[in-house]
């Protein structure tokens, strides 16, 4: 049995890290986790020990996307928290046989500094963005160095590209974050059309996103919703409790009824907690203001309609980059963020895509193709964990000091 440390930096990365950690535990390894950003909730849910007290920040680790975000991180102490995590890593790294990085350049550099063997799942970068992946300095040097034992990419195109750039094998074995949603979930009640609403998971951005989504729903035909022809489901994280939700939506004239629905006239949105996978699998279309959730939807061969917000994550630039990453089955109406024209265009596009999802074989086949080449198949956690286990057994040089 080897002792392994998972090092990640973000909510989506923590989710993949937790799933990978569970798979490594099943192979007999002892696994600890160090989330450099965020509260590490996926690790706690998985029962994986954390070696550092975590904190939640409003930027969700995405403050680098704007000057305002950088200043917010400074005020809230996120930079100091990150430095504290790096100090903790340097102190305890000698206890571990292998550091498993899930993320981008920050944990890659941190793992290099601690001078331990490293396996890296480079989930944050893809050649689909620009055609040729330009790794930020000094990521390439870290990944091609002697400490780096294994490198995994998030898609085959990136694996081929990085193998050429780094002069070493880079493997695509699937994406762990797809495993929970690719497994068969309990289906939601049948209806003619179902639209899933995904406002994201980071607060307070979540609240801002939800208010924009409600404005799109208010522009959908009320008779279709009231008759049950079009069902609306809101996938919401547990960290946003019902009393706060009710107070927020009341600002736009929505109420929460005893059945867990948001109601405004004949429009009804069913609140879904704890069944995120069911919402993804049962929906014909996902109206999305999220990162990992949109990737999971595409991986399920579902069309995605974006609605850009104020950020710090789901801005217009983030949405544009996401379309390059995930391909032509991700759609977005043009126009200024939050303008009545943009919201109306989004509602109209949603109606068109809901119809096409059922009647357009070309779109359906395109969704299946993009799911396969962009995200891969179920079992990414198991395959990556097995490759790490094989490396630990086959490595001729001792991993422990």
Name the pLDDT band for 11 (thresholds 50, 70, 90).
Answer: confident
Name the pLDDT band for 55 (thresholds 50, 70, 90).
Answer: low
**Of residues 66 and 92, which shows the higher confidence score?**
92
Cβ contact 278:259 at 8 Å:
no
pLDDT single digits (tens) 151-177: 999 999 999 999 999 999 999 999 999
Q: Is the pLDDT of residue 112 over 90?
A: yes
Q: Does domain 185-374 have CATH number 3.40.50.2000?
A: yes
pLDDT for residue 63: 46
pLDDT for residue 56: 62
Q: What percent of the chain has pLDDT over 90?
A: 81
Inter-CA distances, 81 with 11, 45, 138, 202, Å: 16, 22, 22, 18
Task: Name the residue ranges covered by the structural domains of the chain.
Answer: 3-180+378-394, 185-374
The yes-or-no answer to whether 3-180+378-394 and 185-374 have a common fold is: yes
Which fold would CATH assign to domain 3-180+378-394? Rossmann fold (3.40.50)
Handedness of CA 309, 311, 317, 320 (dihedral sign): negative
pLDDT single digits (tens) 287-310: 999 999 999 999 999 999 999 999
pLDDT single digits (tens) 245-292: 999 999 999 999 999 899 999 999 999 998 999 999 999 999 999 999
Q: What are phi and psi of 148, to 5 degrees?
A: -75, 110
* Size of the chain in residues: 401
pLDDT single digits (tens) 201-233: 888 899 999 999 999 999 999 999 999 999 999
- Please name which of 396, 401, 381 lies closest in space to residue 6, comparing C-alpha atoms: 381
Longest CA pairwise span in the chain (Å) = 69
């Amino acid at each position: 049995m080897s002792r392994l440390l998972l090092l990640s930096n973000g909510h989506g990365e923590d989710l993949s890290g937790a799933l990978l950690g569970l798979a490594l535990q099943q192979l007999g390894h002892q696994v600890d986790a160090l989330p450099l950003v965020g509260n590490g909730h996926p690790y706690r849910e998985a029962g994986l020990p954390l070696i550092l007290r975590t904190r939640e920040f409003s930027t969700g680790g995405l403050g680098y996307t704007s000057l305002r975000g950088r200043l917010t991180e400074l005020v809230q102490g996120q930079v100091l928290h990150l430095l504290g995590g790096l100090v903790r890593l340097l102190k305890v790294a000698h206890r571990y046989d292998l550091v498993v990085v899930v993320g981008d350049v920050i944990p890659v550099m941190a793992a290099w500094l601690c001078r331990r063997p490293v396996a890296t799942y480079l989930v944050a970068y893809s050649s689909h963005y620009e055609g040729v992946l330009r790794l930020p300095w000094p990521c390439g040097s870290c990944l091609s160095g002697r400490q780096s034992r294994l490198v995994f990419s998030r898609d085959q195109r990136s694996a081929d590209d990085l193998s050429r750039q780094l002069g070493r094998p880079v493997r695509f074995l699937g994406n762990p974050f797809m495993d929970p949603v690719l497994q068969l979930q309990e289906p939601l009640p049948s209806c003619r059309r179902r639209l899933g609403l995904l406002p994201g998971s980071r607060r307070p951005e979540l609240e801002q996103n939800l208010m924009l989504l409600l404005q799109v729903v208010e522009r959908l035909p009320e008779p279709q919703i009231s008759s049950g022809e079009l069902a609306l489901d809101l996938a919401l994280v547990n960290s946003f409790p019902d009393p706060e939700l009710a107070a927020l939506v009341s600002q736009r004239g929505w109420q929460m009824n005893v059945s867990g629905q948001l109601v405004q006239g004949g429009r009804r949105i069913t609140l879904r907690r704890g069944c995120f996978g069911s919402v993804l699998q049962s929906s014909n279309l996902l109206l999305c203001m999220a990162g990992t959730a949109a990737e999971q939807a595409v991986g399920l061969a579902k069309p995605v309609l974006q609605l850009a917000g104020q950020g710090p994550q789901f801005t217009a630039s983030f949405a544009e980059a996401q379309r390059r990453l995930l391909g032509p089955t991700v759609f977005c109406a043009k126009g200024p963020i939050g303008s009545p024209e943009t919201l109306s265009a989004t509602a109209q596009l949603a109606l068109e895509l809901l119809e096409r999802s059922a009647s357009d074989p070309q779109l359906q086949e395109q969704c299946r193709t993009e799911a396969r080449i962009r995200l891969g198949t179920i079992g990414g956690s198991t395959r990556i964990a097995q490759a790490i286990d094989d490396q630990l057994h086959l490595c001729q040089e001792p991993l422990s000091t």
